[in-house]
Amino acid sequence: MLYELTTVASPPLEQDAASSAAHKWVLAGEGRLLGAWRSEIGELFQIKLMRGFETAEALERERLRALMSPHPFNIHDPSSRFSMEQYARFPFLPEVEPLAFGRFYEIRTYHLKPGGLPPTLAGWEQAIGPAHD
Per residue in 62-113, pLDDT (tens digit) is: 999 999 999 999 999 999 999 999 999 999 999 999 888 888 888 888 899 9
- The answer, yes or no, to whether residue 120 has pLDDT greater than 60, is yes
Give domain 2-128's CATH superfamily.
ACT domain (3.30.70.260)
Short-list 37, 126, 50, CA closest to 90: 126
Q: Look at residue 27 in the predicted model and tell me its pLDDT.
A: 94
Which of left, alpha, beta for 37 (phi over 0: left; psi -120 to 50: alpha)? beta
The pTM assigned to this predicted structure is: 0.87
Q: Look at residue 101 in the predicted model and tell me its pLDDT.
A: 83
Q: Is residue 131 very low, low, confident or very high in pLDDT (cuts 50, 70, 90)?
A: low
How many residues are given for the chain? 133
Per-domain residue ranges of the chain: 2-128
The distance from CA 5 to its chain's CA centroid, rounded to whole angstroms, is: 2
pLDDT tens-digit series, residues 47-66: 999 999 999 999 999 999 99
Overall average pLDDT of the 19-44 stretch: 93
Distance CA 25, CA 46 (A): 16
